[in-house]
Chain A
Amino acid sequence: ETGVTQSPTHLIKTRGQQVTLRCSSQSGHNTVSWYQQALGQGPQFIFQYYREEENGRGNFPPRFSGLQFPNYSSELNVNALELDDSALYLCASSLRGSVSYEQYFGPGTRLTVT
């Protein structure tokens, strides 16, 4: 069974640029959630994707957008990067309808905006 993978592991961008982060779900999972974890804080929910559609969004501006593909992998796109976007971005996959409500997290992508 393959776990959740994310790429890249680290990247550095300049303010105003755009970035795309990628996530591959755990085998058998059909739902992907993205979280932002700023330094010293708990993860914050960005949004969730199910059946290739956004299925819930946290308090993040529209410049944060995403995609889910037929194979359940996902992308997180951030436009017009700001310094405060520097954080660890975590992807989590789950199986909608599962009684356990478990989300399985990937190792994260560390984004630094300068």
Chain B
Amino acid sequence: AQSVTQLGSHVSVSEGALVLLRCNYSSSVPPYLFWYVQYPNQGLQLLLKYTTGATLVKGINGFEAEFKKSETSFHLTKPSAHMSDAAEYFCAVSATYGGATNKLIFGTGTLLAVQP
């Protein structure tokens, strides 16, 4: 069975500082991994995804993540935080179910605060 653990329910950084949001996964099969962002009172927006191939993936808004199989990690980073990055971030793994269903299993989320 697949699962996702996000370390740190709240992360606070200063504007311009490095953003690092941690995600570890458990999967018995090669995982497909995702990061989503959720702004207040909104749905989820896909930031980036890893399926196969290059382990460093780049997403929208300057975010990137690196798939490290040996560490079962998929941490999200951004070199310089912007005030508009303040939101909740969810890491997710795609689990096959009944042969074809690609349900997503989410972590509990990390709320990112950006201080001026």
Contact = CB atoms under 8 A, between A and B. Distances in A.
A55 interface: yes
Contacts of B41: 110
B49 A101 contact: yes
B98 to A, nearest CB: 5
B105 A45 contact: yes
Nearest to A96: B100
Query: Which of A6, A99, A102 neighbours the largest number of chain B CB atoms within 10 Å of its CB?
Result: A102
B13 to A, nearest CB: 21
A103 interface: yes
B98 A100 contact: no
Contacts of A55: 98, 100-101
Interface residues of B, number: 27
B45 interface: yes
Contacts of A92: 44, 104
A33 B42 CA distance: 17
B113 to A, nearest CB: 15
Interface residues of A, number: 30
B63 interface: no
Contacts of A58: 103
A56 B100 CA distance: 9
A42 B45 CA distance: 14
Given A100-B49, A101-B49, A45 B104 contact: yes
Nearest to B103: A45
Interface of B: 4, 32, 34, 36, 41-46, 49, 51, 90, 92, 94, 97-98, 100-109
17 contacts: A33-B103, A33-B104, A41-B109, A42-B90, A42-B92, A42-B109, A43-B106, A45-B103, A45-B105, A56-B101, A99-B51, A100-B51, A101-B49, A103-B102, A104-B46, A105-B44, A110-B41
